[in-house]
Amino acid sequence: MRIGLAYDLREEYLRRGYGEEETAEFESPETIDAIDSTLVALGHGTDRIGHVEQLVARLAAGDRWDLVFNITEGFHGFGREAQVPALLEAFCIPHTFSDSLVLALGLHKGMTKRIVRDLGIPTPAFTVIESESELKRVVLSYPLFAKPVAGGTSIGISGSSKAQTPQELASVCVRLLEKFRQPVLVESFLPGREMTVGMVGTGDRARVLGVMEVMLNAAAEPDAYSYANKKYYEARVRYQLATDAAAESAAALALSVWRGLGCRDAGRIDFRCDAAGVVHFLEINALAGLHPVHSDIVILCRLLGIPYRELIQMIVTSASERI
């Protein structure tokens, strides 16, 4: 196939004057090179498109592709991850990963939790705070955990995200509202194990790759897989495969979430256990990072003995089945 590559290159946004944290979700040249070279090794022709503005120009010029390998995160609005898929869908061009509806829904953690709750899947009790004045209506039991409602790469999550009192909650929520200019998800803090489940495939062909437990070392910020912990994961985080009863529960719930939301091709779903060991849904990453070394789904595949080339092949195969 002739496969176009759609992506947001981090260095382009840094040159525009955006900051390190603002651009944390965007791709490095290593990721683009790895995907490109892997697709070529699999026998495909590649064409680097770039971000949404570059895609608009290419579409207007009449360019078309058999498939677009889409990993664009976008920059503005709750629909930012859905912008490139929506354009491609309008031009009837197939693309990897979930469609525009799923990506728009999945980015908003509060909306996703409402759907997941409706599917009968456990998720921590929560509310969404859009202004400081709404803090007075929070009636959840402490401790609570606060994070941007539409952040990725753990942006906005830190050691102070866990709040023990209304005063601490107000402090973290005001800071997040001011810094990220988006609502804040406030949910019950779960003190148990944290696991992420890797998924591949679509619909009836979807399956669980494996379950990886995320464990924080003594050097890590406590109680959260935070932005800093993720950034400095080699010193702060330990990953291991999980195969016990809790992991089996997470895997079964992940498959229900994946199919219930209509996710496609590959991604991750995060879970955490409560004090009794019951597994709860936290959030979904339907557009998981694919850095060849440090992205979570790649780390999981490495633990499973799955080469990077095989992961990319599984994604393309899943997308090809829809063409």
Listing DSSP states for 118-187 in one string gives: HTT-----EEEE-SGGGGGG--PPSSEEEEETT--TTTT--GGGEESSHHHHHHHHHHHHHHH-S-EEEE
Q: How far apart are CA 290 and CA 226, in angstroms?
A: 19
pLDDT recorded at residue 20: 85
CATH of domain 2-95: 3.40.50
Q: What is the DSSP letter of 224?
A: S
* pLDDT score recorded for residue 323: 86
CATH of domain 126-188: 3.30.1490.20
Domain ranges of the chain: 2-95, 106-121+191-320, 126-188
Any residues with CB less than 8 A from the CB of 289 and at least 6 apart, and which?
Answer: 25, 31, 153, 295, 296, 297, 298
Cβ neighbourhood burial of 164 (10 Å; 0-12, 13-18, 19+): exposed
Residue with tokens 């040249």: 29
| pLDDT tens digits in sequence order for the chain, 323 residues long | 999 999 999 999 999 998 888 898 999 999 999 999 999 999 999 999 999 999 999 999 999 999 999 999 998 999 999 999 999 999 999 999 999 999 999 999 999 999 999 999 999 999 999 999 999 999 999 999 999 999 888 899 998 999 999 999 999 999 999 999 999 999 999 999 999 999 999 999 999 999 999 999 999 999 999 999 999 999 999 999 999 999 999 999 999 999 999 999 999 999 999 999 999 999 999 999 999 999 999 999 999 999 999 999 999 999 999 88
Residue 23 amino acid letter: T
What tokens were used for 196? 């992420």
pTM: 0.95
Fold of 106-121+191-320: D-amino Acid Aminotransferase; Chain A, domain 1 (3.30.470)
What is the torsional sign of CA 133, 227, 287, 191?
negative
Residue type, 188: S
